[in-house]
Amino acid sequence: MAVPFKRKRHLSSFQVILIGFFGVIVLGALILMLPISARNGQVTPFNQTMFTATSAVCVTGLVVQDTASYWSEFGQAVILVMIQIGGLGVITMVSLVALISGRKISLKQRSTMQEAISAPKVGGIVRLTRFFVRATLLIELTGALIMMPVFVSDHGVKGIWMSFFHSVSAFCNAGFDLMGTPDNRFASMTSYVGNPLINTVLMLLIVIGGIGFLTWKDILTNKHHFRRYRLQSKVVIVTSAILIFVPAIIFFFSEFSKMPMGDRINASLFQSVTTRTAGFNTADLPSMTRIGQAIFIVLMLIGGSPGSTAGGMKTTTAAVLVANAIASFRRKEDTEFFGRRLEPGVVKIAATILLMYVSLCFGGAVVLSATDGLPLGVCLFETASAVGTVGLTLGITPKLGIISQCVLMLLMFLGRVGGLTVVYAAMSGINKKLSKLPQEKLTVG
């Protein structure tokens, strides 16, 4: 009797990305459990190391243990490596190792690299990846060297390590910091609210890391010739500028009016920029008004741009939804940007992403509120921070129970790899139907 031939099933690019991220998280969590990783020399519970590793690889910044006061230098180094891997992308880092070792990158691997960095085509993907990695290391090194005199002056030799740690954390939009002490844990960058150098360097690192690798390429290639930019770069730059300066103006007049003028400007701009999924803060977030916290939630959900170190729905998603609404109000059939028409499928994907992020944020907040008995508004802030991979917090994360921490871990993971990546990974191998059902009109609105 003939044995039926079974076709070997290969993993799709989306499945490889998911498995890669999860594998790095588990490995990082196991290393953080080692006694050498903690300052007290004891084994850290797996649920705490898993949460920390998830937050680091997903470049979020939410923590259950203060990074500076709890983890040893070895533990901090492990966290920093995970941040770098998560910021550049697991696939990018694996591909880099293959390139260094002289191995040839297959077409399948090139396709996975394309999906990982949201590149428009497979052609030239290896060269593009080399550019991203080199530019990343150069920018992070520059940021560290500029901040080093300030940190060394304030913290001695330890300031050298702090400079590199914060530069990488800022560029990767991670939000992990080494400012906490046993007496003042989870301090973030509040002690530097009046330092223009630290504020400026961190904001530049956050913005450069959050606008996307392909946008840097466009800027370097076409420089000040804005008309020559690709449509995506134009949308990213304009939308990012609006999302930075408009909230900053609102914060300036509504949140920090009691500060000196210089500190007030720094705090307003920094708090607006950090919602690009960076996770640092120079202001006391729990003391902000409800309106200010609500603006934070919206900005955190939007996040950074495609193909960047940032998470969130992405600036382009928000821009497409707004442009589609404007087209509907004007009774225009097509959604348009800068004299170009978008295909309908892009609008459909943007609406799907919005629904997924809002559902994850609200659903997670309901679970947190019901499980730990906390106000829904506070929980919404925390879940928006998790699914947007931001890391800003109102201080409730370390106090949450195991169930709520698991919910936040799931949100961070989905927020980093992208909800659609999970869907496409699950649906890989399912054949598309070529037939269509009869069409009928439905009234909405």
Question: For 317-359, what is each residue's pLDDT tens digit?
Answer: 999 999 989 888 888 888 888 888 888 888 888 888 899 899 9
What confidence tier does 435 reach under pLDDT thresholds 50, 70, 90? low
pLDDT confidence tier of residue 283, bands split at 50, 70 and 90 = confident
Considering only 105-114, 196-205, 212-221, which range has the smallest mean pLDDT? 105-114
In contact, 397 and 408? CB cutoff 8 Å:
yes
Report the pLDDT value the prediction gives residue 6, as an integer from 0 to 100. Answer: 47
Specify the range with the lowest mean pLDDT, choosing from 162-171, 202-211, 426-435: 426-435
Q: Which of 58-67, 95-104, 337-346 has the lowest mean pLDDT?
A: 95-104
- Section 132-141 average pLDDT: 88
Q: Single out the residue of 45, 32, 56 nearest to residue 402, CA to CA.
A: 45
Which pLDDT band, with edges at 50, 70 and 90, does 313 fall under?
confident
Q: Higher confidence at residue 19 or residue 31? A: 31
Phi and psi angles of residue 389, each rounded to the nearest 5 degrees, phi first: 50, 50
Q: Band of the pLDDT at 217, cuts 50, 70, 90? A: confident
**Residue 409 scores a pLDDT above 60:** yes
Can you give the pLDDT at residue 205? 93
Checking if the pLDDT of 420 tops 80, the result is: no
Domain extents in the chain: 13-423
**Residue 104, Cβ neighbours under 10 Å: how many?**
8
Tell me which of 45-54, 93-102, 219-228 is least confident.
93-102
To the nearest whole number, what is the mean pLDDT of the chain? Answer: 84
Q: What is the pLDDT of residue 407?
A: 94
Angle at 397 between CA 269 and CA 411, to 5 degrees: 85
Residue 25 pLDDT > 60 = yes
Q: Are 285 and 218 in contact (CB under 8 A)?
A: no
What whole-number percentage of the chain has pLDDT above 70?
81
Q: Could you please report the per-residue DSSP string of 178-238? A: S---SSSTT-TTGGGTT-HHHHHHHHHHHHHHHS-HHHHHHHHHHTT-GGGS-HHHHHHHH
Would the pLDDT of 4 be above 60?
Answer: no
**pLDDT, tens digit (0-9, with 9 covering 90-100), for 36-62:** 999 999 999 999 999 999 999 988 888
Phi-psi region of 430 (alpha: psi -120 to 50; beta: other; left: phi over 0): beta
Confidence of residue 13 (pLDDT cuts 50, 70, 90): low
Mean pLDDT, residues 426-438: 60
DSSP 8-state assignment for residue 401: -
Inform me whether the pLDDT recorded for 3 exceeds 70: no
Q: What is the pLDDT of residue 360?
A: 92
Which residue's structure tokens are 């600036």? 315
Q: How large a percentage of the chain has pLDDT more than 90?
A: 41
Q: Which two tokens stand for residue 14?
A: 């989306």
